[in-house]
């Protein structure tokens, strides 16, 4: 947008954050009693709900079952009122299908699927409000939901979207920054080992800057993982206090 400075000279962004600052993350696990695992996560103004069913028997075609590991089935959808312009179809369009495949790929790297051969794990993510970083918020919410369902994972999966403006990487982009012609990169990380589950970028970036950008993304993801860890421990503490009474 003409006239909108994504990064001022003093180092402040559109919403007043510094370049490496993440948005406020608030989350809650066990939101729905009927699903096996569920979580709600807010990152700034982006809100996502993730629900996990499984591991259960393969639904639909039995032939798609894998003999040595579980099949992970993801669906990404957005509420019709989530974006500023009303969306006519919640899912089924190309963007949603692509996101679903990315989520599937991300979680196949983290979930220990070889413990559940011939079964299926369903992960459904719903965006209630969209303000940038949709993929990252979905991954973070889905991680909490998978943990809530008690499905073993190698590590937390934390994701963050970073952009590159004026030679500076900006962590955790909001919607205005994403649309402002910024080269943005989405990264999903398993923080303890520093393993990258998914990296995606579709903008032009000079290859000299790539390493700085990935470094910035990994630092941001490690920040998110600390918050998620805190949420999980808090949830366990509440559950243990509740069961003791």
**Closer residue to another protein, CB minimum distance, 77 or 143:** 77
46-57 vs 168-171, strand pairing mode? unpaired
* Nearest by Cα to 44 from 4, 17, 6: 17
Indicate whether 58 belongs to the interface with another protein (CB under 8 A).
no
Q: How far is the CB of 142 from another protein (least distance, A)?
A: 12
Q: Where are the beta strands (DSSP E) in 70-201?
A: 71-78, 119-129, 158-165, 168-171, 183-190, 195-201
| Residue with Cβ nearer another protein (124 or 164) | 124
DSSP state at residue 114: G
* Those residues with Cβ within 8 angstroms of residue 170's Cβ, 6 or more apart along the chain or in another chain: 6, 7, 13, 19, 162, 163, 164, 177, 182
Q: What tokens appear for 53 in the block?
A: 């069913």
Name the 3-class secondary structure at 240: helix
Binding part of the chain for another protein, among 39-47, 111-119, 178-186, 206-214 by CB under 8 A, reads: 39-47
- Cβ-based nearer residue to another protein, 73 or 225: 73
* Contact window for another protein (CB under 8 A) among 25-33, 154-162, 163-171, 234-242: 25-33
Q: Which of 59, 64, 226, 233 binds another protein (CB under 8 A)?
A: 59
Closest CA to 17 of 139, 137, 224, 170: 170
Comparison of 122 and 172: residue with beta carbon closer to another protein: 122
Residue of the chain from 12, 19, 20, 31 that contacts another protein (CB under 8 A): 31
One residue of 4, 84, 202, 244 binding another protein per CB under 8 A: 84
Rounded CA-CA distance 34/38 in Å is 9
The nearer residue to another protein, 92 or 193, going by C-beta atoms, is 92
Catalog residues that contact another protein under the rule CB under 8 A. 26, 28, 31-35, 38, 40, 42, 45, 47, 49, 51, 53, 59, 73, 75, 77, 79-84, 86, 90-92, 122, 124, 126, 128-130
């Amino acid at each position: 947008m003409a006239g909108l400075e994504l990064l001022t000279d003093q180092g402040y962004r559109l919403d007043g954050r510094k370049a490496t600052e993440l948005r406020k993350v608030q989350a809650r696990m066990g939101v729905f009693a009927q699903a096996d695992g569920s979580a709600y996560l807010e990152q700034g103004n982006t809100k996502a709900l993730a629900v996990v069913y499984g591991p259960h028997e393969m639904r639909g075609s039995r032939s798609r079952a894998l003999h040595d590991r579980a099949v992970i089935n993801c669906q990404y959808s957005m509420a019709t009122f989530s974006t500023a312009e009303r969306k006519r179809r919640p899912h089924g369009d190309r963007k949603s299908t692509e996101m679903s495949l990315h989520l599937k790929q991300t979680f196949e790297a983290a979930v220990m699927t070889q413990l559940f051969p011939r079964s299926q794990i369903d992960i459904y993510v719903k965006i209630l409000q969209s303000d940038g970083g949709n993929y990252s918020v979905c991954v973070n919410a889905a991680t909490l939901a998978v943990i809530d369902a008690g499905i073993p994972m190698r590590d937390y999966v934390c994701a963050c979207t970073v952009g590159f403006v004026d030679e500076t990487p900006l962590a955790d982009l909001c919607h205005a920054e994403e649309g402002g012609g910024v080269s943005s990169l989405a990264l999903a990380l398993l923080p303890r080992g520093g393993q990258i589950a998914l990296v995606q970028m579709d903008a032009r970036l000079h290859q000299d800057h790539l390493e700085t950008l990935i470094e910035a993304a990994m630092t941001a993801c490690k920040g998110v993982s600390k918050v998620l860890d805190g949420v999980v421990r808090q949830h366990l503490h509440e559950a243990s206090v509740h069961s003791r009474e």
